[in-house]
Amino acid sequence: MEIIIPKERFKELKKLSEVEIVKLIEENLEKAEETLKAEREAFLHEKKIKLENKLKEIEKQLEALERFYEKAMQDREFMHEMSEKLRKENMALREELEEKNRALKNKTRERTWKD
Amino acid sequence: MRLKIKPERGLGKIEVEIDEDLWRRIRGLGERYGVSEGHILRIILTGEFRIPEGNVEKLENEVKELEKKVYELEKKWAPLRYKAYGVREDNKILAIKLSGLLAENTQLKRFLRKKAKPNFELRKLIEYYL
């Protein structure tokens, strides 16, 4: 295994014997664990902030989606009613128009016969 | 395990033999924190030690709780989005149908010389869904 360290630190370690370096590693394992905990803490802090922001965003989107869904359901109901109303109204108007056309035709026919 | 220590710049190296027991302890630490043995050795050899500021375990639980909340909301959000999309599509079809019915209504009223009352609310709704 190869470890690259800053030049200044390397110079300091160079002054130590192999036994002293192994001892340094052994004696500092606990400190290394604390450092790993601190690194994990920093990572978790960052993750927490990201999650809090994501949560806010989802809550906002969910609220907007719920509002949209509710309104869309009301609109659907309203458009159904209007569609039915217009269908009936158009049917009555078409009958009225046909009646008018029939009356007009009869009138024209009567006039032609008279002439 | 033979460990080679080299400087970032320049020549030279230090070679150290790490015995099996110490290596096992380093590896165990690495497994516990999900980091490589090299990372741990680098911390020790550079002497860049840090101390946690607060309670890491508490923070871990808070993150887990937040993850759970996000998951729950996402679970709720996905089907609602699907349902909303469905209603929107239904409304679009209804808007097309209504647009046709309104045009027919205006035409019929014109033929019958009847006054057509414009329904602005309905027209706005149709435009929105189209």
- The full set of domain ranges for chain B reads 2-46, 56-129
Contacts with A66 from chain B: Cβ below 8 Å: 80
Q: What's the order of all strands across the beta sheet hosting B2-7?
A: A2-5, B2-7, B14-17
Average pLDDT, integer, range A21-41 = 95
Q: Looking at per-residue confidence, does B118 or A32 come out higher?
A: A32
What residue of B is the nearest CA neighbor of A56? B70
Does the pLDDT value for residue A113 go beyond 80? no
CB contact under 8 A, A47 and B25: no
Rounded (to 5) percent helix, strand, coil in chain A = 90, 5, 5
Q: Which residues of chain B have pLDDT under 50?
A: none
The per-residue pLDDT for range B2-22, each reduced to its tens digit, is 889 999 888 889 999 999 999
Q: Residue B38 has what pLDDT?
A: 94
Distance from CA of A16 to the nearest CA of B (A): 10
What is the rounded CA–CA span in Å between residue B130 and residue B106? 20
ipTM field: 0.72
Q: Which residues pair with B6 in a beta bridge?
A: A4
- The percent of residues above 70 in pLDDT, for chain A, comes to 99
